[in-house]
Chain A
Amino acid sequence: MTQSVVVQVGQCGNQIGCCFWDLALREHAAVNQKGIYDEAISSFFRNVDTRVVGDGGSISKGKICSLKARAVLIDMEEGVVNEILQGPLRDVFDTKQLITDISGSGNNWAVGHKVFGSLYQDQILEKFRKSAEHCDCLQCFFIIHSMGGGTGSGLGTFLLKSLFDIISKIDLMVNSGKLGTTVKPKSLVTSSSGALKKQHKKPFDAMNNIVANLLLNLTSSARFEGSLNMDLNEISMNLVPFPQLHYLVSSLTPLYTLTDVNIPPRRLDQMFSDAFSKDHQLLRADPKHSLYLACALMVRGNVQISDLRRNIERLKPSLQFVSWNQEGWKTSLCSVPPVGHSHSLLALANNTCVKPTFMELKERFMRLYKKKAHLHHYLQVEGMEESCFTEAVSSLSALIQEYDQLDATKNMPVQDLPRLSIAM
């Protein structure tokens, strides 16, 4: 089994990360009754003998001594990370795996990317190398960050680049980007699900929980057993038909926050229907009325292949798939359900419904850019030029155009192409 490292960048990234580690601990505690450090737990946690000073404390088998998250926490101001280190999860994090600064990035991508990027480059790479060393077989880096702020977006994308440069063979990098409303340049759209109109203690708690659950469900089939396993590298293999079209829309059912442990169990088939409704998407998008390039269904709990197939047959007629992938389904069955539920479904779609999001983004960007609003904040950062902006826009435009071309094929009849003919 392989290990994954979670890199949480910026306030958003760290808050989501915190939810994730909390849920991961609960999930493994529910499954692992005997307290033995097994392969499933080792995918996200190290087992450490805290009495040993320095690095040598890792224990690979036997009873769980002290679990340490395979995480790197990065933030350019201290508040959030400090809160985590004083909270109930403080013992889960290795204090050597933090990078913090004081002043923050001021919601300025250029500051996050250029200033802090170059300042902390060596440290960042050092932490990554360390976390990789602690793994038997490192498969994946999960990078959690927002796109709207300065650290998550700027520094987050900077470290992505550095990862690519030094580690030539990375099988998978998954970004969980969170879009939030801001009045800054590159302002984006909120993605709150309609179901979340509940009271919660802190404003973003419920949403963060959902993202954290998503990460858990994504990796469940790799960690736990099932009759049809799906590893992380199978996600990129099946859901990315062309390298640049690697944006996935996810939906999770049932949608639940930590407090909702007593949701009555939904009928199984309803769970599948919900996964395709626009209210359950974690991006404001409607995949049902757009074009699917590929779709993955990751089911957890007491669900069998016949349930899965029945629902695919039932839902297929109302969904539109691209002509060359008419039956583009990837499925997995994991026997272990999430804590407190009998079953759950995570649907990942590569769908042209992301296009409106990108178009809106571009529009808002252009409105500010045309007036050169706030531009000086960026340009005064060393290394930042106008070309950075123009390149970004043209790359976004190219992406939108690709989706446009695919959409154009939407209602065309599917024709079989002429086949090779063999002389007999």
Chain B
Amino acid sequence: MSIVTVQLGQCGNQIGFEVFDALLSDSHSSQGLCSMRENEAYQASCKERFFSEEENGVPIARAVLVDMEPKVINQMLSKAAQSGQWKYGQHACFCQKQGSGNNWAYGYSVHGPRHEESIMNIIRKEVEKCDSFSGFFIIMSMAGGTGSGLGAFVTQNLEDQYSNSLKMNQIIWPYGTGEVIVQNYNSILTLSHLYRSSDALLLHENDAIHKICAKLMNIKQISFSDINQVLAHQLGSVFQPTYSAESSFHYRRNPLDLMEHLVPHPEFKMLSVRNIPHMSENSLAYTTFTWAGLLKHLRQMLISNAKMEEGIDRHVWPPLSGLPPLSKMSLNKDLHFNTSIANLVILRGKDVQSADVEGFKDPALYTSWLKPVNAFNVWKTQRAFSKYEKSAVLVSNSQFLVKPLDMIVGKAWNMFASKAYIHQYTKFGIEEEDFLDSFTSLEQVVASYCNL
């Protein structure tokens, strides 16, 4: 089955390029550590999911590129073409001249309706090219104007027109300081709207990925390109073909069915990704891994809310069963233990069948209303991913994102109380009530997650 990716705005388009590049170069990698037949099956599955064929054999990404100004799309088109390995479809782009001015209202209320027909047409053509269509992967940021505002509008349209297909939004959480001044407004408007129309929100924080680049990859002068490549690596390790527990004879058909496992209840849609190991090529040559070691770290990352495998707080333990339940998580104290709703672990590489994931099945890790047998899933694949002999990725629906969400809502609320910048939004039809609606929905989400 195939996924159609919709790349929105500068962020969405820059990341989308890195994702397709990472997927294809992993699929062409000679270090699969498996049989040739296995490798071919992997490549074929990867191709089917993300690329379509062209006459001269160059795969074309199943993607639609949308931006309200032309520079970034033009850059990504030429970068892909220059790689010689793959490219974007010629007619798969939609662009305008003026940009959205970091204004969510402009992206949502002006660009959205104005360009709805053209954008949906291009998407429809891309969907029609799929023999068997799984769903949409929408890449966007929440801080800007196009990705956030137009992204929310497009997702809503996809919900209306493709209600039977799955939609996952990959959303970039901006740096806490310094990207866009109105980023908190744009973020709360985006999240509250997407909560209604998307099936799952996969959230990546720039701050967290920046730390991975600094501490784990040892990059000195970190560029957005570095950040996007780390992100692409994480997404690749989630979306490349895997086997399911049920069948080890062929790769899972639907790449988006992970959502089925991870979003059991519509009130809880926020997912995050942690992967291990992650290091520079130089270090990789000198390190060996065991599954036991990797999984132990990954589990500790989960329960202690660590963003990466360094500096993990080892003094966090799950609550012991039999004792009275711990007081509900209070945001005023430091979050200690991270409760999960559902977790999915994907393991790739050598001796993967011997990996023991029992630690993730501990009921203490999960909220009481879902049994671990339903809350936890593991997928294993012999074929190694992107130069890592063994790698593990955790996609988690847990309290990971509550604190950042709470912070953003708090900052936006303080700004809203002073009415700063509101005139820029009301100018384009987003009124104070719309803001209040957004605040209400998100406070609800925060409260729900806190009370797990």
Give me the interface of A with B, judged by CB distance under 8 Å: 1-2, 39, 136-137, 139, 171, 225, 227-229, 231, 233-234, 236-243, 293-294, 296-297, 304-309, 312-313, 316, 323-331, 333, 416-417, 419-422, 424
B107 to chain A, nearest CB (A): 11
Q: Is B113 an interface residue (CB 8 A)?
A: no
The answer on a CB contact under 8 Å between A231 and B440 is no
Most buried by A among B97, B213, B214: B97
A136 to B98, CA, bound (A): 11
Give the distance in Å from the alpha carbon of A242 to the alpha carbon of B220 in the complex.
39
Residues on the A chain within 8 Å of B414, using CB: 323-324, 416-417
Contacting residue for A422 out of B10, B72, B176, B444, CB 8 A: B444
Chain B residues, Cβ within 8 Å of A306: 210, 213-214, 219-223
Assess whether A233 is in contact with B97, with CB atoms less than 8 Å apart: no
Q: How far is B416's CA from A323's CA once the two chains are assembled, in angstroms?
A: 12
Q: Which residues of B contact A239 (CB under 8 A)?
A: 181
Contacts of A308 in B (CB 8 A): 178
Distance in Å: Cβ of B173 to nearest Cβ of chain A: 14
Give me the interface of B with A, judged by CB distance under 8 Å: 10, 14, 69-72, 75, 97-99, 101-103, 145, 175-182, 210, 213-214, 219-225, 227, 409-411, 413-415, 417-421, 423-424, 439-440, 443-444, 447-448, 451
Q: Bound state CA distance, A328 and B179, in angstroms? A: 9
B314 to nearest A CB, angstroms? Answer: 28
A311 to chain B, nearest CB (A): 9
- Bound-complex Cα distance A193 to B423 (A): 35
Closest to B184 in A: A327
Query: Chain B's nearest CB lies how many Å from the CB of A337?
Result: 15
Cross-chain contact A331 with B179 (CB below 8 angstroms): yes
Contacts of B424 in A (CB 8 A): 236-237, 240
Q: Could you jot down 7 A-B contacts, CB within 8 Å?
A: A39-B70, A233-B98, A237-B102, A297-B178, A306-B220, A313-B177, A422-B440
| Bound CA span A343–B71, Å | 21
Whether B417 and A324, one on each chain, are in contact in the complex, defined by CB atoms closer than 8 angstroms, is yes
Hey, which chain A residues are within 8 Å of B417, CB to CB?
A: 324, 417
Residues in A whose Cβ lies below 8 Å from that of B179: 228, 329-331
Measured CA separation A384–B178 after assembly (Å): 47
Which residue of chain A has the shortest Cβ distance to B96 in the bound complex? A137
The CA-CA distance from A330 to B101 in the complex, in Å, is 12
Contacts A227-B225, A238-B181; A325 near B98 (Cβ below 8 A): no
- Expressed in whole angstroms, the Cα–Cα distance for A307 and B219 within the complex equals 12
Are A228 and B415 within 8 A (Cβ)? no
Shortest distance in angstroms between B430's beta carbon and chain A's nearest beta carbon?
13
B98 touches A228 (CB 8 A): no
In the complex, the answer to whether A329 meets B178 with C-beta atoms within 8 Å is: yes
Distance in angstroms from A403 CB to nearest chain B CB is: 15
CB distance from B211 to the nearest CB of A (A): 11
A227-B14, A305-B227 given; 9 more Cβ-contact pairs under 8 Å: A137-B97, A228-B10, A236-B101, A237-B145, A241-B421, A309-B177, A416-B414, A419-B443, A422-B444
- Chain A residues with CB below 8 A from B97, complex form: 1-2, 136-137, 139
- Given A227-B14, A331-B179, A422-B447: A326 touches B411 (CB 8 Å cut-off): yes
In the bound complex, do residue B222 and residue A304 qualify as a contact, i.e. CB atoms below 8 Å apart? yes
Measured between beta carbons, the chain A residues less than 8 angstroms from B210 are 305-306, 309
- Cα distance A330–B61 in the bound complex, in angstroms: 33
User: Roughly how many angstroms separate A407 CA and B72 CA in the complex, as a whole number?
Assistant: 40
Contacts of B180 in A (CB 8 A): 234, 238, 330
Q: Residue of A at shortest CB range from B180? A: A330
Give Cα A307 to B145, complex, Å.
Answer: 24
The smallest C-beta distance from B348 to any residue of chain A, in angstroms, reads 30
Which 4 pairs across A and B sit closest by C-beta, in order of nearness? A233-B101, A329-B178, A306-B222, A241-B420
Q: Which of A309, A326, A420 contacts B175 (CB 8 A)?
A: A309
* Min CB–CB distance A178 → chain B (angstroms): 27
Using known A-B contacts A1-B70, A419-B409, determine if residue A325 contacts B415 with beta carbons closer than 8 Å: yes
Chain B residues with CB under 8 Å of A241's CB are 420-421
Contact partners of B99 in chain A: CB under 8 A: 229, 231, 233-234
Are A229 and B72 touching (Cβ within 8 A)?
yes
Q: Give the Cβ gap from B266 to chain A, nearest Cβ, in Å.
A: 17
Q: How far is the CB of B214 from chain A (nearest CB, A)?
A: 7
List residues of chain B with CB within 8 A of the CB of A225: 71-72, 75
- Chain A residues near B102: list those with CB within 8 A: 233-234, 237-238, 330
**Docked CA distance A130–B415 (Å):** 42
Q: A307 to B221, Cβ gap below 8 A?
A: yes
Chain A neighbourhood of B75, CB < 8 A: 225
Q: How far is the CA of A154 from the CA of B413 in the complex (A)?
A: 42
User: A44 CA to B417 CA in the complex, in Å?
Assistant: 40
> In the assembled complex, which residues on chain A have CB atoms less than 8 Å from the CB atom of B448?
424
The reply to whether A331 and B413 form a contact with Cβ atoms under 8 Å apart is no
**Chain A proximity of B82: nearest CB distance (Å):** 15
Known: A228-B224, A424-B451. A329 touches B181 (CB 8 A): yes
Contact B98 A242 (CB under 8 A): no
Contact between A304 and B223 (Cβ–Cβ < 8 Å)?
yes
Check A312–B178 contact: CB distance below 8 A. Answer: yes
Establish whether residues B413 and A137, one from each chain, have CB atoms under 8 Å apart when the complex forms: no
A417-B224 contact, Cβ under 8 Å, with A309-B175, A424-B451: no
Q: Among A236, A306, A326, which residue has the most Cβ atoms of chain B within 10 A?
A: A306
Which chain A residue has the least Cβ–Cβ distance from B68? A231
Q: Residue of A at shortest CB range from B207?
A: A309
Compute how far the CA of A204 lies from the CA of B440 in the bound complex, rounded to whole angstroms. Answer: 56
Taking the nearest CB of chain A, how far is it from the CB of B114, in angstroms?
13
Q: How far is the CA of A384 from the CA of B182 in the complex (A)?
A: 42
Residue of A at shortest CB range from B104? Answer: A237
How far is A243 from B180 in the complex, measured between Cα atoms in Å? 18
Q: Closest Cβ of chain A: how far from B68's Cβ, in Å?
A: 9
Give the Cβ gap from A146 to chain B, nearest Cβ, in Å.
29
Distance A229 CA – B439 CA, assembled complex (angstroms): 29
Contacts of A323 in B (CB 8 A): 414, 418
Given contacts A237-B182, A241-B421, contact A1 B71 (CB under 8 A): yes
Cα of A234 to Cα of B179 in the assembled complex, Å: 12
Q: Given the complex, which residues of A lie within 8 Å of B223, measured CB to CB?
A: 227, 304-306
Given contacts A229-B71, A234-B99, A419-B410, A242 and B420 within 8 Å (CB-CB): yes
Give the Cβ gap from A84 to chain B, nearest Cβ, in Å. 30
Given A1-B71, A294-B181, A309-B178 in contact, is the A243-B423 Cβ separation under 8 Å? yes
Q: Which of B10, B220, B418, B421 has a CB less than 8 Å from the CB of A229? A: B10
Q: How far is the CA of A306 from the CA of B410 in the complex (A)?
A: 26
A231-B69 contact, Cβ under 8 Å, with A241-B420, A242-B423: yes
Report A417 CB to chain B, min CB distance, Å. 5
**Least distance between B416 CB and chain A CB atoms (Å):** 8
Q: How far is the CA of A326 from the CA of B176 in the complex (A)?
A: 11
Q: How far is the CA of A288 from the CA of B218 in the complex (A)?
A: 34
CA distance A228 to B172 in the complex (A): 14
User: How distant is A115 from chain B, measured CB to nearest CB, in Å?
Assistant: 35
Which A residues are in CB contact (< 8 Å) with B103? 233, 237
Residues A325 and B181 in contact, CB atoms below 8 Å apart: yes
B418, A324: Cβ atoms under 8 Å? Answer: yes
Contacts of A307 in B (CB 8 A): 221
